[in-house]
Amino acid sequence: MLASLLRVGDGGLKVTSLMGTVSVGRFKTAHMAALATATAVLYSMWKRWRDRPQGAVFMPGHWLLGNLPEFLQASWRKEQLDFLCEQHRHLGRTLAMKFPFTSWWVVTTRPENVEHILVSNFANYPKGPWWQSKLFDLLGNGIFNADGQAWHQQRKTASRMFTANLFKEHIWVVVRRNARKLRDLLESTKPGQQVDIFNLMNRFTLDTIGEIGFGKCIGSLEDPSSPFLQSFDKAQQIAFQRFVLPVWRPLRWLGIGHERETRKHFQLLDEYSHSVAQDLRKGLSRDTGRAGIAWEDIETRKSFIGLFLQDAKKRGQELSDDYLRDLVLNFLIAGRDTTAQALSWAIYLLCMNPECEAKARREIRDVCGVRGPAYDDMSRLRYVQAVLSETLRLFPSVPLDAKYAQSDDVLPDGTVVPRGTTVFYNLYSMGRDHAIWGEDAEVFRPERWLEMESPPSNYAYPVFNAGPRECLGRRLAIVEMKTCLAMILPELSFRLAIPVDQVMPDAQLTIGMSRGLPCTVVRASEPREVDDLASTASAVGQSGKATSSGSCTSEFAVDEEEDNADSDGQEEEKPC
Ligand code: HEM
C-alpha cells in the first residue's frame, strides 16, 4: 500500500486510506486524472476569459461550447451567412464570438476596421497559423495561404502576369473562345431541358484558368465527368468544416466524420496538380528551335505557372514539385470558383429581375452589335458592370475573410484585440449593411452604381480585398464575366427550374450554390409568363431608397489605353 501511495503522490492520502488497500492505486490515478483535466479546463477557461477582446459586443452563447451550437446549426441549414447578418443587425457591427479549443473571434463590418487590418496595420495581421493549418492540405504554401517572404516572392512574380500585352494577345482570346463554347452549349439545349448554370459556369471558368494559368486544355465544357472536379469541390467543403469543428485533426487521423474521404480527395488533387506541373516542365524544356515550336509550348510559356518557371530559371533556381503543385491548386481555386460563383449569382439575380436583364441585353446589343463582344467593348458595358458590382455586393465570392492578430492591438472603433485573436471582416453582412448602402441595402438595384459620384472605397466594398493583398485577378475576372454575359445574354434568357428558396449558398469558404442553379434556357425573344417570376422580394429583401447618388465611371473599366487589342487575334483558330 505504501508503495502505491508513494507512486501516486501525496495529494489523495485521506481518500485512499478510506478506500482500502486493493483499489487505492487505480482509484487514485483516476482521481488525479480527473483533477488534472478539471484544472486544465479551468485554466483554459480562465485564460480565455483573460484574453477576451474588449469593447465589442459578446454574442450570447453556451457557457462551455460558446457559439458553436448555433453556428453549427446555421451551417447545417447553409444559413451561416444570414445568421451572422442577423447577429450584426441585432447586436452591433463588431462582435466577439467564441468556440471551444480555439482563439476568440472578432467579427466586424466597419469599413474603418477593414482599412486598419488590410492596410494601416497590415504587418500585424497575417493569415497566421490558425488559418494556415486548416488549409494546408489544400493550398500548401501557395499564395493564398502563405505569409511573409514566401507570400512576398510569389506576389512579386504573380503581379507581372496580367500585363496589357498578355491581356491583348492571349487572355482575352482564350476568354472569348470559351465564352463562345458556353453559348453554343446553352443554345443546344432542348426546350424545357434543365441545365445547371452553376455547374456550367464552373466548367467555363475552369477551362479558362486551365489555359491561361497552365497552358492546359482541361476540356471540362466538353466532358464534365472528371473525378478531379468532384474532389476539388469536396476538398473545399472539408476545409470549411475545419473552421467550424475544432476536433478535425483526430477525425482526419481516424478517417471518420467529415474527414472520412479527406485522404482520397486530397490525393487525387495532389496527383492531378503534380501531373500538370510535370507537363509544364516538359513543355518548357522541349526544344524550341524556331521552326518546330509546338502550340502547347507557346501556351506553356505564356501561362502563369510558365512565367513562374521561367522567372526561377533566370534566378538560377529550380522550383520543387511541391511548390508547383501549390501554385497550380492556388490558381485553380482563385481562377475558377470565385468567378463562376459571381457569374451564377448574377444569372440568378437577373432571372429574378427581368427588367434588369432587359436593360443589360439592350446595352450589350447597342455596344456589341451583331459582331459579338470585342475587347474594346468591355469598358463601354457600364450597365453590365453595374450588374456585376451589385451581384458581388450581395453575394461576395469570399463572404468572410480573416486575419490573425500577431500582437495586441486596438481597432479604430475601440475594440481591444488581444494577441492571437482571429479578426474576421464580414463582407456578406457589409454588402447588406444599411449604414453603408442605405435603406435599400438588400435590394438588387444595379442603377445605384450608375448614380454614385464616386465608387465606394475598397474598405466599404472589399470584395476584391484591399491593400497589399488585393486580388491579383480582378481585371481578369471582370473581363471574363463581362465577356460571358455579353456572349450569352443577347440571344438567351434563363428561367429558374426550382423554387427560389432552394437557391442558397453553400457552407464553403467561397459562396457556392449548395444545390446548383437548375434553369431552363429560352430564346430572349420568348415572352415571360407571370409564373416564371418567383418572388423577387424574397430574393432581395424589402425596397427603399439608396443614399448614394451621382454617376459611376466604372471603377473596373478596362484601362482605355490598354484596351485597344485586336479582338480577332490569330489564337482564335488554335486548339482548345
Ligand atoms: C469575381 C472574381 C474574384 C473575386 C471576387 C476575388 C476576390 C479575392 C479576394 C477577396 C481575395 C483575398 C483573399 C484572401 O484574403 O486570401 C483574392 C485574392 C487573390 N485573387 Fe482573387 N478574386 C476573383 C477572381 C480571381 C481570379 C480570376 C484570379 C486569377 C488567377 C484571382 C487571383 C487572386 C490571387 C492570386 C489572390 C491572392 C493575392 C494575395 O494574397 O496576394 N482572383 N481574390
Range of the structural domain that residue 45 is part of: 1-50
pLDDT confidence band for 529 (50 / 70 / 90): low
Sequence-distant (≥ 6) Cβ neighbours of residue 41 within 8 angstroms = none
Is 79 among the domain residues?
A: no
Q: What percent of the chain lies above the pLDDT cut of 70?
A: 84
Whether 530 has a pLDDT exceeding 90, the answer reads no
**431/544 same-domain check:** yes
**37/141 same-domain check:** no
Is 125 among the domain residues?
A: no
Range with lowest mean pLDDT among 31-35, 336-340, 461-465: 31-35
Whether 573 has a pLDDT exceeding 90, the answer reads no
CB 511 near ligand 1, within 6 Å:
no
Rounded Cα–Cα distance for residues 403 and 116 (Å): 12
**208/308 same-domain check:** yes
Range with lowest mean pLDDT among 72-81, 260-269, 344-353, 557-566: 557-566
Is 106 among the domain residues?
A: no
Output the average pLDDT for the chain: 84
Rounded Cα–Cα distance for residues 179 and 486 (Å): 9
Is 58 among the domain residues?
A: no
Question: Which residues pair with residue 425 across a beta bridge?
Answer: 108, 401
**385/254 same-domain check:** yes
Q: What Å distances lie between residue 366 and 336, 363, 493, CA to CA? A: 30, 5, 17
**241/376 same-domain check:** yes
Whether 263 has a pLDDT exceeding 80, the answer reads yes
**189/287 same-domain check:** yes
Q: What's residue 445's pLDDT?
A: 98
More confident residue, 234 or 338: 338
Q: How far is ligand 1, taken at its centre, from the CA of residue 526, in Å?
A: 37
Q: What's residue 224's pLDDT?
A: 80
Q: What percent of the chain lies above the pLDDT cut of 90?
A: 51
Whether 82 has a pLDDT exceeding 90, the answer reads yes
- The enclosing domain of 305 has a CATH number of 1.10.630.10
Is 62 among the domain residues?
A: no
Range with lowest mean pLDDT among 193-197, 297-301, 489-493: 297-301
Is 66 among the domain residues?
A: no
Range with lowest mean pLDDT among 273-287, 408-422, 436-450, 485-499: 273-287
Decide: helix, strand or coil at residue 401. strand
- Which of 459, 471, 556 to probe ligand 1 with, by most ligand atoms within 8 A of CB? 471
CB 181 near ligand 1, within 6 Å:
no
Mean pLDDT, residues 159-175 taken together: 84
From the CB of residue 349, how many other CB atoms can be counted at a distance below 10 Å? 21
pLDDT confidence band for 238 (50 / 70 / 90): confident
Q: What's residue 525's pLDDT?
A: 80
**351/476 same-domain check:** yes
Whole-model pTM?
A: 0.85
Q: Cβ-count burial of 20 within 10 angstroms (0-12 exposed, 13-18 middle, 19+ buried)?
A: exposed
Q: What's the domain count of the chain?
A: 2
Mean pLDDT, residues 77-84 taken together: 91
CB 389 near ligand 1, within 6 Å:
no
Residues constituting the chain: 576
CB 335 near ligand 1, within 6 Å:
yes
> For 403, phi and psi rounded to 5 degrees?
-135, 165
Q: How far is ligand 1, taken at its centre, from the CA of residue 546, in Å?
A: 29
Is 213 among the domain residues?
A: yes
Mean pLDDT, residues 144-155 taken together: 94
Reported as a single tens digit per residue, the pLDDT across 280-338 is: 888 777 655 444 444 455 666 778 888 888 888 888 888 898 899 999 889 888 889 99
Whether 570 has a pLDDT exceeding 90, the answer reads no
**282/163 same-domain check:** yes
Atom 23 of ligand 1, residue of closest alpha carbon: 338
Mean pLDDT, residues 125-145 taken together: 92
CB 144 near ligand 1, within 6 Å:
yes
More confident residue, 169 or 482: 482
Say if residues 448 and 548 touch (Cβ distance below 8 Å). yes
More confident residue, 262 or 301: 262
Q: What's residue 236's pLDDT?
A: 84
Question: Which residues pair with residue 195 across a beta bridge?
Answer: 519
**36/151 same-domain check:** no
Q: What's residue 297's pLDDT?
A: 59
CB < 8 Å & 24+ apart, contacts of 498-507: 499/534, 500/352, 500/534, 500/535, 500/538, 500/539, 501/538, 503/348, 504/78, 504/79, 505/78, 505/81, 505/395, 505/399, 506/78, 506/237, 507/75, 507/76, 507/78, 507/80, 507/237, 507/240, 507/241
**20/168 same-domain check:** no
Is 115 among the domain residues?
A: no
Reported as a single tens digit per residue, the pLDDT across 356-411 is: 999 999 999 999 998 999 998 999 999 999 999 999 999 999 999 999 999 999 99
Range with lowest mean pLDDT among 30-44, 232-246, 506-520: 232-246
- Which of 305, 465, 483 to probe ligand 1 with, by most ligand atoms within 8 A of CB? 465
Eight-class DSSP state of 118: I
**45/148 same-domain check:** no
Q: What Å distances lie between residue 20 and 4, 16, 27, 229, 414, CA to CA? A: 12, 7, 10, 65, 60
Rounded Cα–Cα distance for residues 360 and 382 (Å): 9
Which range, 169-183, 420-434, 525-539, has the best average confidence (pLDDT)?
A: 420-434
Query: Which atom of ligand 1 is the closest one to the Cα of 481?
Result: 1
Q: What's residue 574's pLDDT?
A: 52
One DSSP character per residue, 422-477 reads EEEEEHHHHHT-HHHHBTTTTS--THHHHH-SSPPPTTTS-TT--GGG--TTHHHH
**28/143 same-domain check:** no
Rounded Cα–Cα distance for residues 508 and 399 (Å): 9
Range with lowest mean pLDDT among 247-251, 334-338, 475-479: 247-251
